[in-house]
Structure 1
Amino acid sequence: MAKLTVEDLPLEGKKVLMRVDFNVPIKDGVVGDDNRIVAALPTIKYVIDHGGRAILFSHLGRIKKEEDKPGLSLRPVAERLSNLLNKPVTFVPVTEGKQLEDAIDNMKNGDVLLVQNTRYEDVKDGEYVKRESGNDPELGKYWASLGDVFVNDAFGTAHRKHASNVGIATNMPGKAAAGYLMEKEIKFLGDAVDNPERPFVAILGGAKVSDKIGVIDNLLDKADKIIIGGGMAYTFYAAKGIKVGNSLVEKDKIDVAKQILDKAGDKLVLPIDNVVADKFNNDADTRVVEGDIDDGWMALDIGPKSVEEFKNVLKDAKTVVWNGPMGVFEMPNFAKGTLEIGKFLGTLTDATTIVGGGDSTAAVKELGVADKLTHISTGGGASLTYLEGNELPGIAAISDK
C-alpha cells in the first residue's frame, strides 16, 4: 500500500492518537451493537502490545445543541471496550483542556484512553459552531499536539473532512498511518474498483438513483455487469417507458436514467418481475407482476424470476461488490429479494465478495453468511464515495510511505 500503516510507525513509549469509528447504537446507557468496536480491536491491540499509549478519538451521532450532549456520551463505549480488551480503559469526559492533558500525561505504555465524543466540539456556549465536523484548523492542531504519531482506523468517516481525521493528520506530516481496518478497506475496495478479477459484477440497490448516479457512472467503465434493484430500479423502468404505478420514481432523474441506459447497453440488469403491494405496509395485499405495474400498486421487492436472473448473472463472477437492498428490507414481507441475493453470495466461494451499506450488511449477518464473504465494509457513505472514484479526504491525509 502506498500509505504508511500502523506497522511502519515507532510505537514503544509513544502517545498514539487513534481515530476509530465508535459511532454505535446506545440505549439506556448500554451499547446495542458493538461490531464497530470489535472491528477496531486488532489495531488497538497492536498498538498497546508494542508499547504504545492508545489515545482514542471517535464521534457519536450528531450534536447541534447543548441538550444533545448527555445522550451522546462515549462513556458506555469505554465500558464495552474495557470488557472486550479485558483491561481498564480511561474515559475522559471532555475533548480539550487540562483534564484531558493530565490524563494523557499520566498514561503508561500499554494503557488505553478514550476521549469524549469529538462532536461535543460542534457546540460551544450554546452555539452550533461545527469545530469538529467543519475541520477547524486550531482544533486539529490542538489534538495533534497531544500525541507523537497518528493512526486513522475509521474508514466510516474517511469521506468526511473532520478535525479528528484530516485535521490531526495534516498537523502530523510523515507520522499519520492507516490502521488495519482502514488498510483492509483500501485494499479490497481499491482492488475491486481498479484491478478486479473478472467477471466483475456490481449490485446496486436502495431507494434513489440520485444517491448512486456517480457510482453507476464510474462502474460502467469498470464492471462487466451492474445489477439494479430497490426503489431506484423504477426510475429506470420509467425511462424505458414501462408503467410503474405508484412505485417510487425520481421524475427529475428520468432523463439521467435514459442517458445511463444508452451508455450501458446490456451491462445494466434490471428486475424482470416485482412483488407489488396496494399500500406501503408490511401487511398490504401483494402479487407478483412482470412488466407494467398498474395504478394503485407499488413495487416493494424484486420477484422470483428477477432473483433467478440475478443469480444467473452472479454465478460466474470473480469479483462482486454489493451496496443497497433489493426491496423494502425493513419490512419482512419485502425482504426476500435482498435475503436471497445475500444467501447466494455466500455460495460464491471462488469470488471476492464485498458488501457495504447498512441493509446489505444486515442481510448477510441475518443469514449467517457474513463469514463466508471476503469483506464487509464498515462505511456505507465512504464505500459509495470510493466506488464513485472520488478521493476520500481521510485517506488522502494519511502520510505516504
Structure 2
Amino acid sequence: MLFGVPVLEDLPSVDGRSVLVRCDFNVPLRDGEIADDHRIRAALPTLEWLTSRGAKVTAVTHLGRPKGTPDPAFDVAPVRRRLAELAPGVTLGENLRFSPGETANDPDFVDELMAGHDLYVNDAFGASHRAHASIVGPPSRVPSAAGLLLAREVEVLLGLRSHPRRPFVAITGGAKVSDKLGVIRALLGVADQILIGGGMCFTFFAALGHSVGSSLLEPDRIDDCKALLDEFGDRLVLPSDVVAMGPGGKIGDPEAGGEVRNMGRSVPDGWMGLDIGPGSAAEFADHVLEASTVLWNGPMGVFEDPRFEAGTRSVAQAVADCRGFTVIGGGDSAAAIAQFGFEDQVDHISTGGGASLELIERGDLPGVEALRRAPNAVEADESDEFNE
C-alpha cells in the first residue's frame, strides 16, 4: 500500500485474469495522426507488468471532448494502431466519452465497462481529479490498484505534503491568482518559502498598493492576497522587478511595436507586465539553488514570446541545476522545462497539471480516494504518512 492506496503488488494473481486499465491516451492529433505519443509510452511499464504476468489486458481512455456521442474527429483508431505497435496483445476500447455515462458517472456504464473483467488498474493520473465512471466506478466492484505511473505521482506529490526535505521552496506562477490560492494556502502549511511570479503576481502587487497598468489583475482577489501577505509575508517572495510592454505592443508579435522595458513593481498606465525582471530571476534562482526540495507550477511570464521568456528560462535553469529533489507540477511548467531542454535534469515531471494541483491542495483526488476504498485495500493505520 502507498498512502493507503493499493498498488500492483496488492492485486490478487493476475495470471489468466482479465484486467481493465484506465489510461490517459489523450494524445494530440494532427491530420488524423498522433503528433506526440509520450502518453502512450508512459503507460507501457504498467501494461508490460500485467502482460508479463499472464494478464489479458484491455486499456480504455478518453480522447478530446466529444459530447457524449460518437464523433469521427475523436476516434481512437490512431491510438489503437500505435498501441498495437508498442504493446502487442493489449486491446483498446472505444473513446470513453462517446458515452454520456462516462462524465455522468452512470453506474450502468460502469457495469458495461467492467463486464468480463476481473480486476481494475488506474494509471490515468491526469484524469483522476475527475469523478468519471471509468475513474471512480470500478474500484467499488473489483480488486483494484494504482498503476506504476499513478503510484509514482501519489508517492512524489503526497510525499511533498508529508515529509519534504528542507528547505522546501515552492514556485508558483501562471495567469490567475484565483487558480492558485488554494494551492498557496496548502503549501504554506509545509513549504519554507513560496516564490510568486507570472501574471498572478500583479494582484499581490495591487494588494501592496502598487499600480499595475494594463497587467493581469483580479480585483476580487486583492483582499485575499493582502490577507496572505499580512500573515505570511516573510515566506511569500514577490518579484522585485518586472519586464513590461508599452502601449501599442502585441503579445507574440514583436513587429507590432510597443517598447519593452524593465521596471520595478509599479507599472504605469498603458503598460503590461509580462515577465519577472532580471533582478527577480536572479533572486528566485538563488532561493531554488539553496533548496533541498523544489516544486514548480506555473511559468514566470509569457514564455511563448521570446521577449518574455527570460524569467521562466532562468527559473527552469535553476531547477535543473538544483542538487535537491525537484518536481514540476505538469501543465505549462512541464511545457516550459521541455522547451528549454531541461526535462532530463528534473527528478519528477507530473503528467497532470490540474490533477497535481488538486492533489497538493486537497491531499486526495476522486480517483485516488476510490482506489483507497477498493475491496483489496486496507484501512491506513494511524501511522500512515497520509494522515500526518
TM, length-normalised to structure 1? 0.88
1:185-224 alignment to 2 at 5 Å?
185-224=153-192
Residue from 123, 132, 152 that aligns with 1:184: 152
CA RMSD, aligned part only? 1.3
Stretch deviating more after TM superposition (319-328 or 1-10) = 1-10
1:299 is the counterpart of 2:273: yes
Match of 1:181, SS state, is helix
Distance verdict in 2 for CA 1:191–1:65, change over 3 Å? closer
Residue from 130, 152, 157 that aligns with 1:160: 130
Indicate the structure whose relative CO is greater, using CA pairs within 8 Å and at least 6 residues apart. 2
1:26-175 alignment to 2 at 5 Å?
26-64=29-67, 66=69, 69-85=71-87, 87=88, 111-122=89-100, 131-172=101-142, 175=143
C-alpha separation between the residues in 1 aligned to 2:210 and 2:330?
28
Match of 1:98 in 2: none
Stretch deviating more after TM superposition (380-389 or 230-239) = 380-389
1:262 shift after superposition: 1.2
Match of 1:300, SS state, is strand
Match of 1:99 in 2: none
C-alpha separation between the residues in 2 aligned to 1:81 and 1:333?
40
Determine if contact 1:144/1:169 at 8 Å carries over to the other structure.
no
Match of 1:311 in 2: 285
Residue from 328, 352, 355 that aligns with 1:355: 328
C-alpha separation between the residues in 1 aligned to 2:318 and 2:289?
9
C-alpha separation between the residues in 2 aligned to 1:121 and 1:24?
19
Residue from 327, 350, 363 that aligns with 1:377: 350
Runs (4 or more) in structure 1 with deviation over 4 Å come to none
Matched residue pairs, number?
A: 365
Amino acid at match of 1:120: F
Match of 1:397, SS state, is helix
- Unaligned runs of 5+ residues in structure 2 are 379-388
1:200 shift after superposition: 0.6
Identity %: 46
Determine if contact 1:140/1:171 at 8 Å carries over to the other structure.
no
Determine if contact 1:329/1:359 at 8 Å carries over to the other structure.
no
Match of 2:234, SS state, is helix
C-alpha separation between the residues in 2 aligned to 1:268 and 1:34?
38
Match of 2:102, SS state, is coil
Residue from 222, 225, 228 that aligns with 1:257: 225
C-alpha separation between the residues in 2 aligned to 1:367 and 1:259?
35
1:360 shift after superposition: 0.7
C-alpha separation between the residues in 2 aligned to 1:309 and 1:361?
22
Distance verdict in 2 for CA 1:51–1:375, change over 3 Å? same
Determine if contact 1:59/1:118 at 8 Å carries over to the other structure.
yes
1:244 is the counterpart of 2:212: yes
Amino acid at match of 1:259: A
Amino acid at match of 1:26: L
C-alpha separation between the residues in 2 aligned to 1:171 and 1:180?
21
C-alpha separation between the residues in 2 aligned to 1:120 and 1:329?
36
Amino acid at match of 1:339: R
1:194 shift after superposition: 1.4
Question: Deviation string for 1:37-72 (max 9, x for gaps)?
Answer: 111110011111111111001111111265x71111
Determine if contact 2:285/2:314 at 8 Å carries over to the other structure.
no
Question: Deviation string for 1:108-153 (max 9, x for gaps)?
Answer: xxx210001100002xxxxxxxx10121111112212230000000
Stretch deviating more after TM superposition (234-243 or 5-14) = 5-14
C-alpha separation between the residues in 1 aligned to 2:116 and 2:131?
20
Match of 2:275, SS state, is strand
Match of 1:234 in 2: 202
1:329 is the counterpart of 2:332: no
1:291 shift after superposition: 2.6
- Unaligned runs of 5+ residues in structure 1 are 88-110, 123-130
